[in-house]
């Protein structure tokens, strides 16, 4: 066979392989007939139906070159009429290049993009984007069976919505995010030029990156200042840096290899994300006799404030709560917003903070 004829044949057969559905491990599924392959690829490759019949026969030859490469193409009578052959790639095909994509693959990749996209280094994100593009292309060629239509439609019906107030997520420079991700992948130090919330001047930091998290609708880098790398891990302070407040981010060479810094889990457990923490407190709340208070109490039954949380009726039959919690800004804001539903009984300092907040709020709202 001449080179001029072999190249179009190879391109055509690769297109057929990409088009064929994949059998499940149990051997179930719907394949493609020669007529369907011809309808999809015939106009593009300008060959007749018999050519596709020969292509499929050679692809399915159990002693042929394709089988030796690890590809298994099989044909079997259709469930509909028992005569027309349907063609598949099998679940045991060894070459991933020939794996037939399904709506399930599309769902997995779509959710991976939603959940993991912000965390991926540049090359990994590029690879995910390429796979998503391949899936979209593949889905355009899939048979529009009921199963396929359901899978495609389902992707557009599920979203991950961040927790918190109805604020737009912070806007992060894509190049800054890429630099941070690459540093985490390569275990590199970072130089940051950073603007704090209460200060107008910019501050320079040399940091050892611990990890990246999405918290309160923002991307945060948890990191240890370079000056602390001589300390024991337990003595290091893990700081939180918002990516949208970084005006410059650059790599600063490889991180020290023999330094033990806190892991991401350790940093979170030790309060790196507990903003403006005032330490542990023994919290006591009393719920109002209202429908909204009952809903809030039910929510706290389902989503505990702490492992030792306890909901109980006091001697007067009023519903109360006790728990050992970290006194963070997030906790105080929650109690401020729920002041009609719950009353802070203890600790006294927190109760006074809430009362002062409500007095100031009322005065401000009643003013001009």
Q: Are residues 184 and 127 in contact, defined by beta-carbon separation less than 8 angstroms?
A: no
As assigned by CATH, the class of the 180-269 domain is: mainly beta
Q: Are residues 214 and 118 in contact, defined by beta-carbon separation less than 8 angstroms?
A: yes
Three-class DSSP category at 177: helix
Three-class DSSP category at 194: strand
Start-end of H helices in 76-213: 103-116, 122-141, 146-155, 174-186
Q: For the chain, what is the total number of helices (H) and then of strands (E)?
A: 12, 11
Q: Listing from the earlier edge strand, what are the strands of the sheet with 310-313?
A: 310-313, 319-326, 280-287, 342-346
- State whether the Cα torsion 244-249-254-260 is positive or negative: negative
Burial class (CB in 10 A: 0-12, 13-18, 19+), 104: exposed
Q: What is the CA radius of gyration of the chain?
A: 30
Distances (CA, A) of 249 to 170, 175, 189, 194, 259: 17, 9, 10, 9, 22
Q: Are residues 187 and 178 in contact, defined by beta-carbon separation less than 8 angstroms?
A: no
| Per-residue pLDDT tens digits for 197-233 | 776 789 999 999 999 988 777 889 999 999 999 999 9
Question: How far is Cα 320 from Cα 331, in angstroms, rounded to an integer?
Answer: 17
The string of DSSP letters for 231-293 reads S-GGGPPEEEEEGGGEEEEEEEEEPPSS--PPPHHHHHHTTTTSTT---EEEEEEEE-SSHHH
Distances (CA, A) of 172 to 54, 113, 121, 186: 54, 17, 15, 21
Q: What is the pLDDT of residue 193?
A: 96
Contacting residues for 320 by C-beta, under 8 A, at least 6 apart:
284, 285, 286, 287, 311, 312, 313, 314, 345
Q: Are residues 223 and 208 in contact, defined by beta-carbon separation less than 8 angstroms?
A: yes
Q: What is the pLDDT along the chain (368 residues), one digit of tens a residue?
A: 444 457 788 889 888 888 888 777 666 777 888 998 998 888 888 888 899 999 999 998 888 888 887 888 888 887 777 677 888 888 777 654 545 556 666 667 777 776 777 777 777 777 777 777 766 666 665 555 666 666 666 666 666 666 666 666 678 898 999 899 889 988 999 999 999 877 678 999 999 999 998 877 788 999 999 999 999 998 999 999 999 999 999 999 999 988 999 999 888 878 788 766 667 899 999 999 999 999 999 999 999 999 999 999 999 999 999 999 988 888 898 999 999 999 999 999 999 999 999 999 999 999 77
Domain over 3-95 is classified CATH 3.10.28: no
* Dihedral angle of Cα 141, 142, 144, 148, to the nearest 10 degrees: -140
Q: Are residues 251 and 274 in contact, defined by beta-carbon separation less than 8 angstroms?
A: no
Secondary structure in 3-state letters for 110-144? HHHHHHHHHHCCHHHHHHHHHHHHHHHHHHHHCCC
As assigned by CATH, the class of the 280-366 domain is: alpha beta
Question: What are the residue boundaries of the structural domains of the chain, listed by start?
Answer: 3-95, 103-155, 180-269, 280-366
């Amino acid at each position: 066979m001449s080179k001029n004829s072999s190249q179009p044949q190879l391109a055509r057969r690769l297109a057929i392989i990409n088009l064929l559905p994949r059998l499940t491990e149990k051997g179930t599924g719907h394949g493609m007939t020669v007529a369907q392959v011809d309808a999809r690829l015939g106009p593009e490759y300008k060959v007749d139906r018999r050519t596709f019949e020969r292509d499929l026969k050679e692809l399915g030859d159990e002693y042929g070159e394709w089988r030796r490469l690890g590809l298994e193409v099989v044909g079997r009578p259709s469930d509909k009429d028992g005569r027309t052959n349907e063609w598949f790639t099998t679940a045991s095909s060894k070459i991933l290049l020939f794996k037939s994509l399904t709506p399930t693959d599309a769902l997995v990749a779509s959710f991976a993009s939603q959940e993991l996209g912000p965390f991926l280094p540049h090359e990994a994100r590029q690879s995910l984007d390429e796979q998503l593009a391949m899936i979209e292309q593949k889905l355009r060629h899939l048979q529009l069976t009921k199963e396929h239509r359901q899978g495609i439609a389902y992707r557009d019906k599920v979203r991950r919505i961040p927790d918190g107030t109805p604020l737009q997520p912070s806007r992060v420079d894509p190049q800054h995010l890429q630099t941070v991700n690459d540093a985490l992948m390569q275990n590199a130090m970072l130089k940051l030029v950073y603007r704090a919330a209460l200060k107008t001047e910019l501050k320079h930091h040399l940091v050892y990156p611990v990890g990246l998290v999405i918290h309160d609708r923002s991307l945060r880098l948890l990191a240890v200042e370079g000056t602390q790398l001589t300390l024991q891990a337990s003595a290091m302070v893990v700081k939180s840096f918002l990516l949208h407040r970084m005006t410059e981010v650059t790599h600063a060479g490889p991180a020290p290899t023999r330094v033990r810094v806190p892991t991401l889990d350790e940093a979170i457990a030790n309060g790196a994300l507990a903003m403006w923490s005032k330490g542990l407190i023994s919290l006591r709340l009393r719920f109002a006799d209202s429908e909204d208070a009952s809903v809030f109490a039910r929510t706290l039954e389902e989503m505990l404030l702490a492992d030792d949380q306890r909901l109980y009726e006091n001697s007067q039959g009023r519903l109360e709560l006790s728990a050992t919690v970290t006194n963070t800004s997030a906790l105080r804001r929650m109690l401020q917003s729920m002041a009609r539903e719950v009353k802070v009984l203890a600790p006294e300092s927190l109760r006074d903070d809430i009362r002062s907040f409500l007095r100031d709020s009322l005065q401000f709202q009643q003013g001009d």
